Structure 1
């Protein structure tokens, strides 16, 4: 556990030298003493050695800046929450005392002071603040540890999910790079187009991670169909289409998944990334905005990567050809707004593939 350096300096603020000496003599056996003659000097001292100060003993009536003005400044800056302030005063005005407490004073000690009273009150409050600070530090450290553990668990979960998704891609004779590309395209899409407006950085990360699970349902498809190089028969295609519903059901059957922040996105994407804007997709024939936005984005990302990447049944199309096929409607009907955004960011998508090519050549 991190060691806490305990402040051990008391700042005495009073325009009367005798009062400063009296208070200093009472407390000098247990604390280091700093003094100030007025409110302005007090603020300067706090600025200079605030980390070492464990308490402030403050007079009310002082030249330049009085005690109430000092309190107003300390209260505004939040200093009274970390350093206890005692009002040492001969004032009997109830309104002044009330105002002092409202501004955060911990205690009011009347003049002339009693050595015993000053020691007991000051020591008790300083001990209280020190204990509270230590407890706060312990709680903060425990929160940090829990956060780090949560991050590790999430990272492990993400790794398992990505491994499962990659294994499924290998079953269908596709490179594991496909799922990484879907992740990267989805993220780039949301970060560089109006479609991402309204999503936080964290939400974009969740949607992008959920995108890697778009084809998780293919685990239920027989190898003979999944790896077939030729055109599927109508019966085989009907079986292939079930990977969408199977994917959603699979995710819902994993109890640990339901508590993860990207679960809802993952289910939508797995089930609906083959729906079409014109309602002629599957599995439910959703139309238009009935299709979740994130599923629509993953849909166009999936098509684009499939076109520009080599497959066992075809060579890779050029970026220009792939763009033309998508815009021309050869690969399905997409949301016109998404299609417009896609055309604008497509040059950025090419950089994802060029970057990988450069890394392979190095």
Structure 2
């Protein structure tokens, strides 16, 4: 009989006995049958096939060494290669308990080597103790996995909630500014594309780019502090009004700094920097800090250009939308401020794809 099963006991655990000697199998079967469902294999190859078919269904393996087709050490080697010995205890039960055999078996990862003829109460106790240990470890591992999965689910919920709050606040500001909320979504997409699809994002991880794109939607959060008479004025601002409008950069950064929950968010450093510096210019003639060149972070530069591109391309309370050719010419010639030449090169390389955002909006 190469492989057999007896009716299941009250214990669902299964013990696999791999031995070419039917008499030896019968002895071990009789010893362990009250505690386990017994399966048998008459050589190493059959035993290995039984294990690999469903390793989780087996609680332990009793393995002989000297067998035809595949010996016990060869079976151990395959189980080691399959990385199964960490979760499946294997016991060598053999008359070949020579030092070199034991040394090789332990090197491969066998749990214990038991010499024949076996002493029943000794082998029973040794095997049961290890099986109980492995089962306890498995239960603990399953519990930890469930807890980790639950923690990850809650973390995703919190992240989604935080993102929803940021989007809601940004959209509320856009409505107050006479916009529909599409502006911040386009800024998000433009920022992400410029960093993901051009050399501007070289050295910035995908995860970091996602955080920057998320942070970009908060660039104008400071406008919540600007009076409606200035924010929604249909005509040109006076010099005094323009100075007040410029303070939205500082007020935005201060506002973000004062939200404790946001400060714990990974996007916070980018949001703060972008809110304060998205009106800085490459030649140092921007505001509020007069930063110049590479003093301005690449993400603040990207959002700055994205904001200009979107403002020129769309109707605002104080102006009509410019056609695409005019928009590109104004950006190229620096009529809306001087930008990093590398940024401009990257922008013009992907602008045909960016323009589709506006074509889609027109169709809608």
TM range (shorter): over 0.9
How do residues 75-86 of structure 1 correspond to structure 2 at under 5 angstroms? Answer: 75-86=80-91
Asked whether the 8 Å contact 2:233–2:317 carries over to 1, the reply is no
Asked whether the 8 Å contact 1:7–1:53 carries over to 2, the reply is no
Gaps of 5+ in 1: 1-5
Q: 1:174 to 1:49 in 2, by over 3 A?
A: closer
How do residues 151-170 of structure 1 correspond to structure 2 at under 5 angstroms? Answer: 151-170=156-175
User: TM-score, normalized by length of structure 2?
Assistant: 0.92
- Which of 39, 42, 48 is the matching residue for 1:37? 42
Q: 1:135 to 1:356 in 2, by over 3 A?
A: farther
* Cα deviations by residue, 1:43-79 (Å, 9 ceiling, x for unpaired): 2112223231111111223333322222222122210
Q: Which runs of structure 1 show a deviation greater than 6 angstroms over 4 or more consecutive aligned residues?
A: none
- Looking at structure 2, the residues matched to 27 and 92 of structure 1 have their Cα atoms a distance apart, in angstroms, of 22
- Looking at structure 1, the residues matched to 36 and 359 of structure 2 have their Cα atoms a distance apart, in angstroms, of 67
> How many equivalent residue pairs?
354
- SS of 2:157's equivalent in the other structure is helix
Question: Which position in structure 2 is the counterpart of 1:3?
Answer: none
- Which of 122, 128, 132 is the matching residue for 2:133? 128
* Cα deviations by residue, 1:163-216 (Å, 9 ceiling, x for unpaired): 111111222222311111111111122222122333333222111110000011
Is 2:71 the counterpart of 1:66?
yes
Question: Which position in structure 1 is the counterpart of 2:361?
Answer: 356
- Looking at structure 2, the residues matched to 157 and 45 of structure 1 have their Cα atoms a distance apart, in angstroms, of 50
- Looking at structure 1, the residues matched to 327 and 206 of structure 2 have their Cα atoms a distance apart, in angstroms, of 29
How do residues 283-294 of structure 1 correspond to structure 2 at under 5 angstroms? Answer: 283-294=288-299
- Which of 274, 280, 288 is the matching residue for 1:275? 280
Question: Which position in structure 2 is the counterpart of 1:106?
Answer: 111
- Looking at structure 2, the residues matched to 353 and 34 of structure 1 have their Cα atoms a distance apart, in angstroms, of 68
- SS of 1:279's equivalent in the other structure is coil
Asked whether the 8 Å contact 1:59–1:67 carries over to 2, the reply is yes
Question: Which position in structure 2 is the counterpart of 1:220?
Answer: 225
User: TM-score, normalized by length of structure 1?
Assistant: 0.92
Question: Which position in structure 2 is the counterpart of 1:138?
Answer: 143
Question: Which position in structure 1 is the counterpart of 2:204?
Answer: 199
How do residues 158-307 of structure 1 correspond to structure 2 at under 5 angstroms? Answer: 158-307=163-312
Question: Which position in structure 1 is the counterpart of 2:332?
Answer: 327
- Looking at structure 1, the residues matched to 149 and 112 of structure 2 have their Cα atoms a distance apart, in angstroms, of 34
- Looking at structure 2, the residues matched to 98 and 287 of structure 1 have their Cα atoms a distance apart, in angstroms, of 69
Is 2:124 the counterpart of 1:115?
no
Q: CA RMSD in A?
A: 1.8
Asked whether the 8 Å contact 2:12–2:37 carries over to 1, the reply is no
Gaps of 5+ in 2: 1-10
Q: CA deviation at 1:7?
A: 6.5
Asked whether the 8 Å contact 2:97–2:113 carries over to 1, the reply is no
- SS of 1:109's equivalent in the other structure is strand
Q: CA deviation at 1:38?
A: 3.1
